[in-house]
Chains A and B, each alone.
Chain A
């Protein structure tokens, strides 16, 4: 199985007690092959004002196979999944898993009442494809943030419609090519992207910072995924508790790479 990414989904695991905290059931991930899992240490989370876990000391992750009777990963320190520490080298899963039998094990009392943000990268053949060409085109897209409590739609760039995307490269300029002030890296930690095809979230609430690939040790490659720009959006975490003036009237800049 290759390492290309196709589907991605953010799952929030509530930490209610010391010991095992079950990962909630997510219908979209049922019977899917999970390729990689990333832990995202965020204070502010999308669509909720609950606080996220940032301190990974004494936090562990256990993942079972699809039948729930055999561990694929047992008590692995959460920091091994932390993109900040791994610099993009993802922990490989490449199996169907049982979410209800998998758990985050908490031995750190200060994290009780918070949420662990896990990104599940899963195989999504319905919305991805094999390469037809080696030549790619890099295009740019500036996504203006107009509010912090609702969705900020991607601009409908006609030239990118119907394309098969190979990479999403987050950029951190001060000023975008269309002369908007871009969010600095520190604020981008709190921005999430959802890419939709029809009514399906191909990429759902993925922290944009996971797509900042400047110093990553492995190359991210998407498997020619498809999505509609006009129904895709970015959100600011914290359900309104983020500081309004830090975000509004600023923009997030991407280079989208698609097959020629």
Chain B
């Protein structure tokens, strides 16, 4: 398990006919050790970009011919044509990068000519800690409805549904994976701790068939300083969704 210290994301806008997309360079994780990259596309729920609220996320099927080239800060090749299956959010063990990247040389490549426009999101988890600690055991699950493109502050959720001290929240799981949302956590200075983290990154791992075999890995926050008033959940789609979210403390 990994305690998430830092997570950031960038959006790759795919333009019909172009097959090569380089990583952004003006980002907070330049020169940082990257633990892993997680690609998020739409699972078919007409999701839109958290940045402009309108660009559609490409579906996972549309991303089937996507590959990644990674180059380390020493200009050594770390990944050549790594298939998207190995970094997509459904993968329980996304590829470990564990290196500082030379961002101007890292890129996404489509092997097939792709003529639809849209975007996909890349979450960058960096300088986080591996842990063998057990998951937090106490949890409260809240269910709430969010209108299209609506948002609700975490404080409202907690005041209404929970009776635990807000600073104690250690992890999150989104159970309703077919109804996606974005989570943004900010501290009291409005600095982003988690910016628009897609709910698929907080999904449970469910073994096939038996409820008894359900395995739970919450997205573990590493004692982050979070101001719940300034933090919110935002609907990722343009239709009403039902959020089912567990807070672990």
Contacts and interface: CB of A to CB of B under 8 A. Distances in A.
Contacts of B76: 137, 260
Contacts of B93: 213, 216, 219
Interface string B86-97: 101011110110
Contact of B111 (A85, A172, A179): A179
Nearest to B78: A137
A217 B215 contact: yes
A190 interface: no
B79 A137 contact: yes
A135 B96 CA distance: 9
Interface in A178-223: 179, 213-217, 219
B111 A214 contact: no
A165 to B, nearest CB: 15
A110 B76 CA distance: 56
Given A140-B67, A213-B93, A214-B88, A173 B205 contact: no
B82 A172 contact: no
Interface magnitude class on chain B: 20 to 34
B2 interface: no
B142 interface: no
Give the residue among A213, A216, A255 with the most B Cβ atoms within 10 A.
Answer: A255
A140 B92 contact: no
A215 B82 CA distance: 17
Nearest to B93: A219
A224 B98 CA distance: 18
B112 A174 contact: yes
B65 interface: yes
A134 interface: yes
Contacts of A173: 64-65, 67, 83, 111
B111 A176 contact: yes
Contact of A215 (B78, B80, B81, B91): B91
A171 B91 CA distance: 12
Contact of A140 (B82, B95, B96, B205): B82
A140 B80 contact: yes
B82 A255 contact: yes
B90 A215 contact: yes
Contact of A169 (B65, B86, B209): B86
B208 A85 contact: yes
Contacts of B82: 138, 140, 255
Give the residue among A87, A138, A177, A219 with the most B Cβ atoms within 10 A.
Answer: A138
Contacts of A87: 207-208
A136 interface: yes
Contacts of B64: 172-174
B199 interface: no
Contact of B81 (A174, A177, A216): A177
Contacts of A171: 83, 85-86
Contacts of B167: none
A87 B206 CA distance: 11
A175 interface: yes
A177 B111 contact: yes
A177 B64 CA distance: 12
B96 A136 contact: yes
A257 B93 CA distance: 14
Contacts of A233: none
Contact of A137 (B67, B77, B83): B77
B109 interface: yes
A179 B111 CA distance: 6
Contacts of B237: none
A213 B81 CA distance: 17
A253 interface: yes
A255 B78 contact: no
B79 to A, nearest CB: 4
Given A171-B83, A216-B92, 7 more contacts: A137-B76, A138-B80, A173-B83, A174-B112, A217-B215, A255-B82, A260-B76
12 contacts: A85-B209, A136-B96, A137-B77, A138-B80, A138-B86, A139-B79, A140-B82, A140-B83, A173-B65, A174-B65, A177-B81, A216-B93
Kindly list the 10 A-B residue pairs having the minimum CB-CB distance in the complex, ordered from nearest: A171-B83, A140-B81, A138-B79, A219-B93, A175-B112, A177-B81, A175-B111, A138-B82, A173-B65, A214-B85
